[in-house]
Amino acid sequence: MTIIVQEGIASITARRVAKEANIAVGQIHHHFKSIGQLKAQALIKVTDQLITQAEHTHPDESILDKIIKIVSPIIGKEGLMIRKLWNEATFLSERDPDIKQAYQQSTEEWHKAIVKLLDEAVATNKISTNNVSELAWRLIALSCGIDNLVIVDGFHFSQEAVNNHIIALLQ
């Protein structure tokens, strides 16, 4: 997980992990069928940790703020790391079936977390929708698109602009 966060998924090798963990390379091969499986498990752990982190909010945050936070974590060092990680996972999932499975599982977990918040927003009459699951998928699609646009300064995707897009979709 440390290697993924600092240098990306592609930086993971059996030797590198063994060196970081101060263990023999054979231990890596004993516990994982392939390096792809090791990368996939690390990706799942990192994304689970990020989702859990996004779910832990300040008690005074509104439900809409909570939704924005989990849909679009684009600001700061953490936002940069998440964008890089997610874009790399998207790219690698086309080549590595283990990464593809981890990417799918991580996205499904993200979807579940968003659905949970949307259910709360519907229950408290903050939003109205006929299909919470579909809305969650649209928010994920919006976030993934914004992630690819936010890296170009000329597009002027500020956090406020992103928040406004999410709120418009929720309404």
Q: Which of 76, 99, 75 is nearest to 4 (CA)?
A: 99
| pTM, rounded to two decimals | 0.81
38-49 tens-digit pLDDT:
989 988 998 888
Beta-carbon neighbour count of residue 141 at 10 Å? 11
* Domains, the chain: 40-170 (1.10.357.10)
Beta-carbon neighbour count of residue 1 at 10 Å? 14
11-36 tens-digit pLDDT:
888 899 989 889 999 988 888 888 88
Instruction: At 57, list the tokens.
Output: 């909010």
Which secondary-structure segment (H or E) carries 145?
A: helix 132-150
Distance, in Å, from the CA atom of 92 to the CA atom of 68, rounded to the nearest integer, reads 27
